[in-house]
Amino acid sequence: MATSKEGPERPTERLDIARGLENVPVSAWPPGAEPEPFQYTPDHIAGPGTDIDPTQITFPGCICLKTCLPGTCSCLRHAENYDDNSCLIDTGSQGKCANPVFECNILCQCSDQCKNRVVQQGLQFQLQVFKTDKKGWGLRTLEFIPKGRFVCEYAGEVLGYSEVQRRIQLQTIQDPNYIIAVREHVYSGQVIETFVDPASIGNIGRFLNHSCEPNLLMIPVRIDSMVPKLALFAAKDILPEEELSYDYSGRFLNLMDSKDKERLDQGKTRKPCYCGARSCAAFLPYDSSLYCPLGKSNIS
């Protein structure tokens, strides 16, 4: 991409969006501009209504003294999660559900260099928050990111459903909605729900815009707690200065059931989508179950 006076600014010491809380400073463009104030946290924190503290250690550690391998390591339930280059092996498919990931945790006896420790290592790439033409603030990379590499988390307050509804009801059509609802379908038919809001307390994931043809894939990753980290991995090779995006609906490279599709397709005034993709759906996806009247839920 050709450079110009209006090109992205390389990280400087003038402004770090992450306030020194990440491995790598996160710059902002244009110079002198800064997003609306918010409290930075690199990890989830417990918000109103949640039953589980995301900082509480709930998983036992493995007893691997050397290499963690499927069949012998209690953290590797089915197969290895990452290859020797720290790339996610299973980057999803339209024909099946995305698999959850369990990483080795603080109680594990394996070393910090265990290759099943990726998301917990934090931010590894130079990223930049920048002002877009139509979508407000966005997030882009300043360096090449190979397919499968971990990019960043979507971190913020973990909320209970009633608090999610309360916050949604206070929003106007002009307000951006940062709340994400992640539903994991387990083998018994149970649905595990996680609600995260980084609007006031969150990390750089809050600046990620939606795309109907995204370059990131969100995967629930569990390390110490049953509350998953919402980890975003490169779904393809990503070039320097390319905007980072994911599919707000969760449909990208992930099989969805009929109830999930119904929640995303019905009712309410829709906000326009400006992703510019050839397959753009014209409107941003949203989860209709979050817009129920207070006290009522159509989640099942």
pLDDT tens-digit series, residues 80-117: 999 999 999 987 665 466 777 999 999 999 999 999 99
Parallel, antiparallel or unpaired: strands 209-210 and 245-246: parallel
Could you tell me what percentage of the chain is helix, strand and coil, using 3-state DSSP and rounding each to the nearest 5? 10, 25, 65
pLDDT of residue 264: 43
pLDDT of residue 162: 94
Mean pLDDT, rounded, for 57-71: 92
pLDDT of residue 10: 54
183 pairs with which residues across the strands?
193
Residue 185 corresponds to which tokens in the numbers above?
């379908």
Highest-scoring range by mean pLDDT, 8-17, 63-72, 186-195, 267-276: 63-72
For the chain, first and last CA: distance in Å?
47
pLDDT of residue 11: 47
pLDDT of residue 93: 64
pLDDT above 60 (res 297): no
pLDDT of residue 13: 53
Residue 246 corresponds to which tokens in the numbers above?
């994911």
CATH code at 14-253+269-292: 2.170.270.10
Output the furthest CA–CA distance in the chain (Å, rounded). Answer: 56
Which band of pLDDT confidence, cut at 50, 70 and 90, is reported for residue 6?
low
Percentage of the chain surpassing pLDDT 90? 67
Q: Which residues contact 188 (CB under 8 A, 6 or more apart)?
A: none
Q: What is the pLDDT of residues 120-141, one digit of tens each?
A: 999 999 999 999 999 999 999 9
What is the amino acid identity at position 133?
A: D
Chain-wide mean pLDDT for the chain? 87
Domain extents for the chain?
14-253+269-292
54 pairs with which residues across the strands?
none
CB 29 within 8 A of CB 129: yes
**Distance between CA atoms of residues 116 and 127, nearest Å:** 24
Percentage of the chain surpassing pLDDT 70? 84
pLDDT above 80 (res 279): yes
pLDDT above 60 (res 232): yes
CB 216 within 8 A of CB 235: yes
Mean pLDDT, rounded, for 47-59: 93
pLDDT of residue 290: 76
Q: Residue 299: in which H helix or E strand, if any? A: none
pTM of the predicted protein model = 0.88
**Distance between CA atoms of residues 52 and 183, nearest Å:** 16
